[in-house]
């Protein structure tokens, strides 16, 4: 009988598994790729080669997943290791728009599948000076990024990508790597963004 080798996992995976267990969250060291692919194509972010170390929280508001986006082939160390958060919300947003602050390494520079929505301004002077916003129209962007959400991101000094989709969103913040404390931070950020979206202000 031939032994099947366990799947290759990135360094630090054991610590992420322990983190999930201590918080009673679901943990998948090598999660179902199809779940992540349904969010593609992204408007502002590249699509990673692989996903690892998905931690999932299911609650009354919906489902939140934080996972490591692996931008290289299996067992090949990527340029940078980073996390991405996903939220599927009950009663979530009905709009689609994307924003980016800065040029994090996950920023998409080539558009092979389809071009992004056009860049727009939403009429918020501070936001428009610091944020690159993409949507079908300025009114769509303003509805997707309500004032409470804009205030939250400004107060946090957000740098990264946020893509609003009907029913949820995807968020990547630069500098967050596959460490338990960064998982915690991104879970809190996803929760705060969800509350700002659901407030409808």
Concatenating the DSSP letter of every residue in the chain gives -PPPPPPP--TTHHHHHHHHHHTT-EEESS--HHHHHTTPSPSSBPPPSEEEEEEEEEETTEEEEEEEEE-SSTTS--SS-EEEEEEEETT-----EEEEES--TTB----SS-PPPPEE--S-HHHHHH-EEEESSHHHHHHHS-HHHHHHHHHHT--EEEEEETTEEEEEETT--SSHHHHHHHHHHHHHHHHHHHTT-
Task: Kindly state the tokens that stand for 165.
Answer: 């989709």
Rounded Cα distance, 118 and 54, in Å: 32
Rounded Cα distance, 156 and 159, in Å: 9
Q: Tens place of pLDDT for every residue, the chain, 201 residues?
A: 555 556 899 999 999 999 999 999 999 999 999 999 999 999 999 999 999 999 999 988 899 999 999 999 999 999 999 999 999 999 889 999 999 999 998 998 766 667 778 999 999 999 999 999 999 999 999 999 999 999 999 999 999 999 999 999 999 999 999 999 999 999 999 999 999 998 865
């Amino acid at each position: 009988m031939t032994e099947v080798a366990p799947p290759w996992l990135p360094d630090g995976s054991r610590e992420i598994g322990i983190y999930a267990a201590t918080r009673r969250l679901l943990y998948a060291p090598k999660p179902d790729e199809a779940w992540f692919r349904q969010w593609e194509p992204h408007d502002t972010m590249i699509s990673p080669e692989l996903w690892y170390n998905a931690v999932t929280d299911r609650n009354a508001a919906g489902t939140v997943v934080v996972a490591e986006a692996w931008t290289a082939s299996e067992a090949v160390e990527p340029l940078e290791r980073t996390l991405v958060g996903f939220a599927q919300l009950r009663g979530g947003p009905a709009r689609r728009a994307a924003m980016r602050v800065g040029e994090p390494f996950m920023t998409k520079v080539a558009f092979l599948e389809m071009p992004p929505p056009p860049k727009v301004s939403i009429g918020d002077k501070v936001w428009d000076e610091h944020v690159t916003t993409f949507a079908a129209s300025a009114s769509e962007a303003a509805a997707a990024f309500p004032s409470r959400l804009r205030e939250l991101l400004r107060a946090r000094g957000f740098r990264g990508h946020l893509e609003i989709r009907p029913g949820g969103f995807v968020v990547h913040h630069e500098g967050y790597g596959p460490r338990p404390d960064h998982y915690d931070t991104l879970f809190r950020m996803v929760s705060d963004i969800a509350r700002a979206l659901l407030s409808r202000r």
